[in-house]
């Protein structure tokens, strides 16, 4: 189907755009009162994420209410470990928790390479509904966690500041770590391809915990698996967002992806030099959205000037924080759109 607004896709492919496209990581879910209403109706995050009609409804909210240039499917990166055989719980005000984690070779053997059409059918069904409802208004972004970030949760079983349990395996049993990373990668490739088949116009890989690794460890345990995914996905554009991996920008710039996401620690001009041939996405500090409207406008314009108008997708440097005022978010989006 022809898209009425294809700014995001043209920017991703390096084509000229008449204005900079804008969307926000974690736009579906965290900030809108309309989301909290649907979530309350669903009863829990997991119920919401596994009910395609409701997941589709909250996916569309930011498009209708905030006017962003793309929708991102409402789901979570943790659906992949669940599909492989490690179910998760979402604990209120705390975050994800895995009752069972991976500790041994036997545990890895027991995991399966997931089949998206059966194990993750609820996400694909949600994509089908969203595509119908969007009716070509804006593109739909699909996503998955990078293998290393998923590995962190499968070993650690919950969030962590250091992911030292997960990193312990990299140093003490690298072979085992590689076996698990490969299994996650195979599941992820099949999953992203299925999202595209169902209508995802672009897919983003979130390496949220890239920043806990040293450059050497990153080159051994994360980059090669992201590279496999990028190489396998030829159908639609791919974005790689590796939070904290400022040290790996040059390597990420050489992947066969189309867009590289930057966090707010990464200098814009320096990043353009390190990644000369790709579209960049980012990178406003989400905390700027706590400032006054005037300050938000000022900081957003500064960012836009620094990136330049082409080969660029405006976004935050990480997900929008849950206690951000939707009015301030709208100010950020409108500032980009009228620049």
Side-chain half-sphere exposure of 116, counting CA atoms within 13 A: 20
Q: How far apart are the first and last CA of the chain?
A: 29
Smallest CA-to-CA distance from 253 within 237, 233, 273 is with 273
Beta strands in the chain (DSSP E): 71-72, 89-91, 95-97, 140-145, 202-207, 238-242, 259-261, 279-284, 312-316
Describe the strand order of the beta sheet including 279-284 as a list of residue ranges: 71-72, 140-145, 202-207, 238-242, 259-261, 279-284, 312-316
| Residue 74 binds ligand CP3, judged by CB under 6 A | yes
Q: How far apart are CA 101 and CA 47, in angstroms?
A: 22
Choice from 54, 66, 72, 202 touching ligand CP3 (CB under 6 A): 72
Cβ atoms within 10 Å, residue 98: 19
**Looking at 30, 137, 219, 272, which residue is catalytic?**
30
What 8-state DSSP symbol labels residue 22?
A: B
324 contacts ligand CP3 (rule: CB under 6 A) = no
Question: Half-sphere exposure (CA, 13 Å, Cβ side) for 311?
Answer: 15
Q: Backbone phi, then psi, for 266, in 5-degree steps?
A: -90, 125
> In this complex, which beta carbon is closest to ligand CP3, that of residue 140 or of residue 170?
140
Is 321 a binder of ligand CP3 (CB under 6 A)?
no
Stretch that binds ligand CP3, among 12-20, 24-32, 253-261, 263-271 (CB under 6 A): 24-32
Residue 73 Cβ, how far from ligand CP3 at the closest point, in Å?
7
What is the closest distance, in whole angstroms, from the C-beta atom of residue 304 to ligand CP3 in the complex?
22
| 3-class state of residue 10 by DSSP | helix
| Binding window for ligand CP3 (CB under 6 A); candidates: 76-84, 113-121, 250-258, 323-331 | 76-84
In the list 13, 34, 76, 165, the residue contacting ligand CP3 (rule: CB under 6 A) is: 76
Catalytic residue check, 35? no
Closest approach of ligand CP3 to the CB of residue 76, in Å:
4
Integer Cα distance of 231 and 268 in angstroms: 26
* Binds ligand CP3 (CB under 6 A): choice among 7, 25, 56, 248: 25
27 binds ligand CP3 (CB under 6 A): yes
* Residue of the chain from 13, 19, 30, 330 that contacts ligand CP3 (CB under 6 A): 30
Asked if 26 interacts with ligand CP3 (CB under 6 A), we say yes
- Catalytic annotation present for 153: yes
* 159 in contact with ligand CP3 (CB under 6 A): yes
Stretch that binds ligand CP3, among 89-97, 121-129, 163-171, 183-191 (CB under 6 A): 89-97
249 catalytic residue (yes or no): no
Distance CA 206, CA 75 (A): 13
Catalytic residue among 35, 88, 153, 225: 153
Q: Minimal CA–CA distance to 242: which of 201, 276, 271, 202?
A: 271
Find the binder of ligand CP3 among 20, 77, 252, 316 (CB under 6 A): 77
* Residue number, 45 or 339, with CB nearest to ligand CP3: 45
Measured CA to CA, the distance from residue 293 to residue 223 in angstroms comes to: 39
Applying CB under 6 A, the span of 28-36, 272-280, 281-289, 301-309 interacting with ligand CP3 comes to: 28-36
Kindly list the catalytic residues: 26, 30, 39, 76, 153
Give contact residues for ligand CP3 (rule: CB under 6 A): 25-30, 39, 45, 72, 74-78, 90, 95-96, 143, 159, 206, 208, 243, 319
């Amino acid at each position: 189907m022809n898209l009425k607004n294809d700014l995001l896709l043209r920017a991703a492919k390096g084509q000229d755009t008449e204005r900079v496209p804008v969307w926000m990581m974690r736009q579906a879910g965290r900030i809108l009162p309309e989301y909290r209403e649907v979530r309350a109706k669903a009863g829990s995050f997991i119920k919401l994420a596994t009910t395609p009609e409701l997941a589709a409804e909250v996916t569309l909210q930011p498009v209708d209410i905030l006017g962003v240039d793309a929708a991102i499917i409402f789901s979570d990166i943790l659906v992949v470990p669940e599909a492989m055989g490690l179910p998760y719980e979402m604990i209120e005000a705390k975050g994800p928790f895995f009752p069972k984690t991976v500790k041994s070779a036997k545990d890895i053997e027991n995991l399966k390479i997931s089949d998206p059409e059966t194990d993750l059918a609820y996400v694909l069904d949600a994509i089908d509904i969203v595509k119908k409802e969007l009716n070509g208004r804006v593109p739909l972004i699909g996503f998955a966690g990078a293998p290393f970030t998923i590995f962190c949760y499968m070993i650690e079983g919950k969030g962590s500041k250091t992911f030292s349990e997960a990193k312990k395996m990299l140093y003490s049993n690298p072979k085992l770590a590689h076996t698990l990373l490969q299994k996650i990668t195979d599941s992820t490739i099949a999953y992203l391809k299925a999202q595209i088949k169902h209508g995802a116009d672009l897919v983003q890989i979130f390496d949220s915990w890239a920043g806990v690794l040293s450059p050497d460890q990153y080159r051994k345990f994360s980059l090669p698996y992201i590279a496999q995914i990028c190489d396998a996905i030829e159908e639609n554009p791919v974005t790689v967002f590796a939070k904290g991996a400022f040290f790996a920008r040059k390597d990420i710039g050489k992947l066969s992806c189309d867009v590289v996401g930057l966090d707010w620690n990464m200098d814009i001009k320096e990043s353009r030099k390190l990644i000369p041939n790709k579209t960049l996405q980012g990178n406003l500090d989400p905390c700027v959205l706590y400032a006054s409207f005037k300050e938000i406008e000022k900081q957003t314009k500064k960012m836009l000037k620094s990136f330049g108008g082409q080969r660029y997708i405006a976004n935050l440097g990480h997900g929008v924080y849950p206690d951000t005022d939707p009015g301030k978010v709208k100010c950020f989006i409108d500032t980009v759109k009228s620049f």
